[in-house]
Amino acid sequence: MAVAPYTMSEHFNSYSLFLILSQSSQKRTLVSTDRFKRELTIKVAKKSNRSEKLDYWIFEVPEDGLMSEIQSQFRQSGIEITIPKKIKSIAAS
């Protein structure tokens, strides 16, 4: 697994993950999920003149994160992943 700068934050209705990637890496990036393990994997293929290298990062998705509604969007300096939260019902007292 590679080490890359990232930030993860929690909001009222979602979690946000931002992984810094070069613009050339963004073209060869794959985001996948494993619903059974509740994991999000980001893979980046890097090519040089003679070889190809695969870097990857695995993040655990919080229990209240909606795996089926994860969204990703490339930004100028990386990739932003949004994980919506399950809506919690408020019990009346």
CATH number at residue 40: 2.60.40.790
0.75 cut: is pTM over it?
A: yes
Alpha carbon distances (Å) from 78 to 5, 37, 39, 93: 10, 25, 20, 45
In this structure, is residue 24 part of a structural domain?
A: yes
Please indicate, yes or no, if residue 79 is contained in any of the structural domains: yes
Show the domain range for 18. 6-84
Number of domains the chain contains: 1
> Is residue 93 a part of any domain in this protein?
no
Task: Pull the structure tokens for residue 78.
Answer: 């990386």
Write out pLDDT tens, residues 30-86.
Answer: 899 998 899 999 998 877 777 788 888 999 999 999 999 999 998 888 899 999 999
Residue 1 falls inside a structural domain: no
Residue 90 lies in a domain: no
Task: Give the Cα separation of 65 and 70 in Å (integer).
Answer: 8
